[in-house]
Structure 1
Amino acid sequence: MDALLILGGLLLILAGLVWLVMRAFGTGLLWGWASLLPPLTLLYVLRHWRSARQALALSALGFIPLVVGLTLLASQDSQRLHALLSLQWLQPEVQALAELAIELHGELHGQPFAPQQGELLGTVLSLREGQDFFARRELVIRLPQPVTGALRLDVLPGDQGPLPEIEVIWLLPEQELPEARRLSHGYTLHLNLQPVPPNKLAGDFHLVLPARFKTTLSGRVELFSDGLRYRDGKVDRHVDSADTLAYVIEDYLQRRFATRAVQLGNLPALPLPADSLELSVDARVDGQAQRLPIRLNKSASRGWAVEADRFAPLAEPSAPQVEAAPVEAASSQSVSRPLDRRLRFSLEGLLRSPSRYENLAMRVSTARGSMAEGRFQGIDQQGRIVLRQRLSGSGAASYAWHPEEIGKIELLEP
C-alpha cells in the first residue's frame, strides 16, 4: 500500500509538470524552452499564473499521497525509507569476496545453483545461495550422527536404514515465503570431506535426486565446521554467533583467573544479532564449579568484548626453563609450602581450595556422631563435600555433607 501511494504521488507530480511545460509552449516558443529550466519555470508561473495554476494544482495534489506513503513506510520499515531517501538503490551492488571455495555444477529445482555460504554444524550440512533472511535457493542435508573430523558418505537409491534427510528449498521472485521438499531415501549422495585448518571441511560433493525434484549437483565444496570466522589468522569478534561469544567468554575467564584450565558450560539461547547481552555463565575453573554474571558489549572497533575487561593476556608457558632447572623448582616449592598437607588442613582451607585435596583419603565425623572414610571427590553444585568409598568387589559408595553438618574432618594422607 505504501509503495502504491508513493508511486501514485510521483506520477501526479510528474503529470502536473508535463502539463505546465505544455502550457508554456502554448504561450510561446521561448517560454516553452525556458520552462525546462527550474528557475525560469518559476518565472513563468509568476508571469502567467492563470495559465499555469491548473497544472501547478495537479502537481500539488500529488504531494498528498506521496507524504502519506512515506509516513506509512517510515512507521513500518524505517531502514527501507532511509535507503530510499539516501539513494542507495542507485549505487551499484558491491560483491563481497567469497569466503568459501565452492565449485558446484548442476541445478537445484531446475535452476542454476551457485551457493555462497556453506556450513556443517553438528548433524546439519547446508549450502545457501543469497544473503537475505530467506535464501533464494538452499540445500540442507541432515546427517544421522554428528561429524567430528573427516566425513565420507556414500548413499545409493536402493539403500535402507537410517539415511541422511535431504531438503531442497527455493524462493521465487513473486513469493514472500519459500517452498521446500524433503526425502529420506531413493537418491544418490557422495561426500568426501577432509578437515582444513582452522575450522573448515573441503572435498568432493555429488548429489542426484529423483527426476521430479530437478536437482543434480556435482563438484567440490568448502564448509565451515563451526560459527567462528577468522581475519588475519585471528578470530573475528564482530561475527554474531554463539561460538564467537563462547570464545570471547572463555578467553576472558582464562585471563581473569590466570589459568588455561577453563571449561565453559553450554550458553543459554542468545537473541542474536544484538549490541549487548547479559548472561549467567557456568564454568569449571581449575576444577571448581563457578557461576558468573557477565555482560557483553559489541563495538565497531573491537567487536564483542566483556564489559570492564582489563585483564592482561596470559603468558605463554616456557617449557625449556622448566626442564633446565627441575631441582631448583622442586626446592623452591619445598621452601614455600610444607610437604605434609595434614599440618595445615582445615575445613575452611578445603572449601577455599578443593582442587588441592582431590582424590586424597579423608575421615569425616558428623555433628550427629556418624563417621565415614573415603577419597575426596570435590564439591558438588549444592556446595556439599563428597567422599567416595570403595566397597568389596567392584562396588563403591558416595557420601555428601553440607559444611554445617560436619563436626570434624581429617586428612589421612600427606
Structure 2
Amino acid sequence: MAGAMLLVGVTILVLGTMALMRDAAGRGHSPLVFLLPLVGLPYVQENWQDVWWAALLRVFGVALLLLGAGLVVARDPLVLEQPARLFGAGSDVVLAGSQRAELNTFVGSEEAILLAIRNDANPHLTGRINGRDFHYQRVELVDGVFSAQQGDGFIPELEVRILLTENPLPLRERKSIYVRPGDEHPPEVHLSWRNPGQDLPETQIITGGYRMELHLAPLDRYQLSGFMQLVLPDTQHSFLSGEFIASTNRLRYVNGNVDLSFDHPDTLNYLVDQYLAGQFPNGMIRQLDILDTTLRRREGSGTSRVRIALTNGRVEERVLQMERTDVGWVMRPGSATVTVLEAGEQGEMRLATAPRTVPARQDSVTEVPASVTVPFAELVRFSGQQVTVLRASGEPQHGIVRGMQRGRLVLETTVGSGTLEYFVEQADLVGLRLASGQQVTVVDGAPADPAPTPAAVPAPETVETTPVEGEPSPHAGLVGRMVRITGHDGRSRTGVLSAATATQLTLEVPVGSGTLEYYYRPEEVDALEQVARQ
C-alpha cells in the first residue's frame, strides 16, 4: 500500500507540475520556476482562475508522497539508515507457491501493522500466540535469552522465547534491537504452548521472516523496563505488542517479596547479597563478585563463594553455607569461611600475630599510642581490624570489627575451621583495645572502672582475669550442669552453665575440639532448663 501511494503521488505531482510549466510558457514566463519549491507561488496566485486545478494536483501529489514515506518508515525504521531497503535490498528471492511466501504474507500486511499499532499504547505486553490471547505474567532476560510467559506453573501455558545473538546485559543505557523479514541470521524465536488436556508443551521454531522491534532500558539492579513489537510469520498470525518489566534473573516473587523457597541458584545469590549487605556499613563494599554458587536439592544445602573488596583496600573471599528449611533458604549460622587476600591500607589483620614473635626474655617494650575517646557510632571506622572488646558484663573478647547493625557492634571471631559472628550492645560496651595496644573508650557506652593507663603491651600469657563476685543468682544451683537457654530472639543454645550472677549468665557451648562462651543478661533470657548430658 505504501508503494502504491508513493507511485500515485509521484505521478500526480509530475502531471500538476507539467501543466503549470506549459501554462507559464504560453504566457511568456520561464517554466523552470516550478522546479523549485514555492518559487512559482506568485504566478499561481496571479493566474488562479486558469491554473487552480494544476496547483491542486501538485499539492495532492506532495501529500500522497509524504503519507507513503511515513508508512514506509513506520514499517521499517532502518530505512532511514539504509535507503536501499526501500527497494527490497537484502531480501531473498522466494518462489511463488512456497511455504515461506505464504507465511510472510501476514508479516508485511496492513492487518499486522494495524494490530501492532493498536497495542503500542498498551501498558502491558499482550497479543496472540497460536490463535490464543496472550497477556504476559513474567518476562525474563537471562544469559541473552528473552522470554515472555503466561501462566504460573513450572511449564507456562504460552511462552515466546527469543535467542538474542548478543547478550545486552549489563545494560547501562537504553538499547534498541530491530529485526526485519529480509535480515540474514536473525535471532531464533521459539513459540511454546500447551493444548487443553496436555501436560507437555508443543514448540515451533522460527528462524527468520519475522518483524521485531525491542527497546530495553535499565530500571534497577534486577529489572529492566521495555517495549516490544513482534509480528511472526506463522499461519495463526501471532503477534505481541506493548510495554513490560523484565527480570534479569530467575527470582520468584510472592506478594512483592522474593520467594526464598524457590530452588534456584539465583535465590541463593539473592540471599548472599542481602546477608553481606547487613554485615558491612552502607558504602563500605566497593565491589561484590559471586564467583560460584552450587545448589544441592537432594541434601537441601547450598554453597556460594564470593569475593568482597572494601573501600579501605581489604579484599577477602568468603565461602557461605546455606540450608533449606520450612520457611525457605536461610544462611547456616557460623558456617562462613573467610580468607583474607589483601589486608588493606591499615593492615591490622597481619599485626595481630606480631606479639608472638617477640621472645619472652626481651626487656624492651612496645610503645602504646595514646588512648582516644570516640562515640559509639564512630566505631565503624575500625572495620576490618583485630580488636579486644572490653565489656561491662563479662571478660574481654577478641574479634574483628565487621560494622554496625541495628545499633549493635558486629564482630567476627574464628572458631575451629570457620568463623562466628556476635553482637555487642552499646550499653554493654566499655571500649576496644586495638592490636597496637591503643585504648579506645566509648563516650556513650557502659561506664568504665578507673584503671591506670598501661605503658606497654603486656604479653598475652601474663594476662589474668579475676572474676568479680556478684550477687547470688536464682540459677546458681545449676552451675556446672548441662542446660538449655532460650533468648527473646527465639534462639536456643545448649551447654554447661559455668557461671551465674545477678547480672550475667555464662554458657559454655562445645564447638569442635573446644568450647565457646556465650554471655546472657537475665533480662535477655526467655527460658532456662536443665537437660540431660548426651
Return the TM-score normalized by structure 2.
Answer: 0.35
Q: Which of the pair has the greater relative contact order for Cα pairs under 8 Å at 6+ separation?
A: 1
| Greater C-alpha Rg | 2
The structure that is helix-richer by fraction is 1
* TM-score normalized by the length of structure 1: 0.44
